[in-house]
């Protein structure tokens, strides 16, 4: 199945800017190599289903973090902050389907929206779910996801009906079964909201000198609370996230412009070109120059 790569670009709030599908058929399907391009922290109003094809992926969403093996997958609810990375060195390939709830629910006054989709999307206990082949209902979701991928790959007459029907099955299974745990506590929801605010500050000021106290102040919290939010929600530190985001923006410029590496480093907040090269290699496993050459082949 030869699907496009989903290049995640976000606004200042961390909301993904990609349009998934078309207004009359709002579903996008992708094939990503996380070893080459990790999926950074972002959120969107669509629902997302992921299946890992090769290797193992570290999938984080809301307050949950999963190591997902090949053949298994993850569901991510609308509006949930999430990201994906390789869980170990080596290949890490996955397919994802991102679809707007109206594809399944139709209008907001329909029974499908009111009785199933709205409760699913509003329930913080169902912000995400691990999908394993060894669990019957989760295996059924993965089977329906495979049908979606097959239909979107072949695109034969009537495939839109089959895609919508398979996604409807996924939604009903998730509504019925996922998850077994309780709703997220208020503290976790508050941490997620604060994290989005701090991500907005980083995204708006990444090209400038940024300190942890400034990041904390953007959400009106202490440095200690800032560090806790980043650790609990994203499993990283503010400075590590800042370096990763700067490297991500640098990668976009390396791919889309002819600017010199030193100019890109300066535009992305790296005062020293050598430090930029080290940080970039930590994120992408190669030098900025090699990354540019790879994109041109």
Residue 51: name the closest of 126, 128, 131, 166 by CA.
Answer: 131
Distance (Å, whole) CA 268 – CA 247: 8
> What's 145's domain CATH number?
2.60.120.280
Residue 12, pLDDT score? 67
131 and 197 inside one domain: no
Condensed to tens digits (0 to 9), the pLDDT of residues 224-271 reads: 999 998 887 777 899 988 998 898 889 889 888 899 999 999 999 998
Which of 142, 126, 115 has its CA nearest to residue 76? 126
Are 157 and 207 contained in the same domain?
no
Considering only CA atoms, give the Rg of the chain: 20
Same domain, 40 and 171: yes
Max Cα distance, the chain (Å): 58
Which pLDDT value is given to residue 232?
A: 78
Kindly state whether residues 59 and 133 are assigned to the same domain: yes
Each residue's pLDDT, cut to its tens digit, for the chain (297 residues) gives 578 887 777 776 677 878 899 989 999 999 998 887 778 788 888 999 999 999 999 898 877 888 999 999 999 999 888 888 888 878 899 999 999 999 999 888 899 998 899 888 888 777 889 999 999 999 999 999 999 999 999 999 999 999 999 999 999 999 998 654 445 556 666 787 888 889 889 988 999 999 999 999 999 999 999 999 888 777 789 998 899 889 888 988 988 889 999 999 999 999 888 999 999 988 887 899 988 887 665
Give yes or no: residues 68 and 108 share one domain: yes
pLDDT at 1: 58
Q: Does residue 190 form part of some domain?
A: yes
Q: What is the predicted pLDDT for the residue at 180?
A: 47
Residue 148 burial by Cβ neighbours in a 10 Å radius (0-12, 13-18, 19+): buried
> Domain of 221: which CATH number?
1.10.10.60
Give the residue from 76, 115, 98 showing the smallest Cα distance to 27.
Answer: 98
Question: What are the structure tokens assigned to 199, written together?
Answer: 């991500």
Of 177, 199, 231, the domain-final residue:
177
The domain of 225 spans: 186-296
Do 274 and 162 fall into the same domain? no
Q: Residue 18: what pLDDT? A: 84
pLDDT of residue 182: 47
């Amino acid at each position: 199945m030869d699907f496009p790569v989903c290049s995640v670009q976000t606004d200042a709030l961390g909301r993904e800017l990609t349009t998934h599908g078309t207004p009359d058929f709002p579903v996008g399907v992708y094939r990503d190599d996380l070893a080459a391009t990790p999926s950074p922290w972002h959120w969107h109003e669509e629902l997302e289903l992921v299946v890992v094809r090769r290797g193992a992926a570290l999938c984080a969403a809301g307050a949950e973090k999963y190591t997902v093996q090949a053949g298994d997958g993850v569901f991510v609810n609308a509006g949930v902050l999430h990201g994906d990375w390789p869980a170990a060195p080596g290949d890490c390939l996955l397919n994802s389907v991102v679809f707007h709830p109206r594809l399944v629910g139709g209008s907001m006054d329909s029974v499908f929206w009111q009785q199933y989709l709205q409760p699913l999307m509003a329930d913080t206990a169902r912000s995400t779910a691990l999908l394993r082949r060894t669990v019957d209902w989760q295996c059924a979701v993965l089977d329906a996801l495979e049908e979606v991928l097959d239909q979107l790959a072949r695109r034969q007459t009537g495939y839109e009906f089959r895609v919508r029907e398979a996604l409807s099955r996924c939604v009903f299974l998730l509504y019925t079964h996922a998850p077994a745990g309780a709703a997220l506590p208020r503290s976790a929801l508050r941490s997620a909201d604060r994290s989005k605010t701090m991500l907005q500050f980083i995204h708006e000021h990444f090209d400038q000198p940024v300190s942890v106290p400034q990041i904390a102040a953007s959400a009106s919290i202490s440095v200690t609370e800032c560090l806790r939010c980043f650790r609990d929600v994203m499993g990283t530190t503010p400075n590590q996230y800042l370096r990763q985001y700067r490297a991500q923006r640098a990668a976009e410029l390396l791919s889309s412009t002819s600017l010199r590496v030193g100019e890109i480093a300066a535009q992305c907040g790296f005062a020293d070109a050598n430090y930029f090269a080290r940080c970039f290699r930590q994120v992408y496993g190669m030098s900025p120059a090699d990354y540019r050459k790879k994109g041109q082949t």
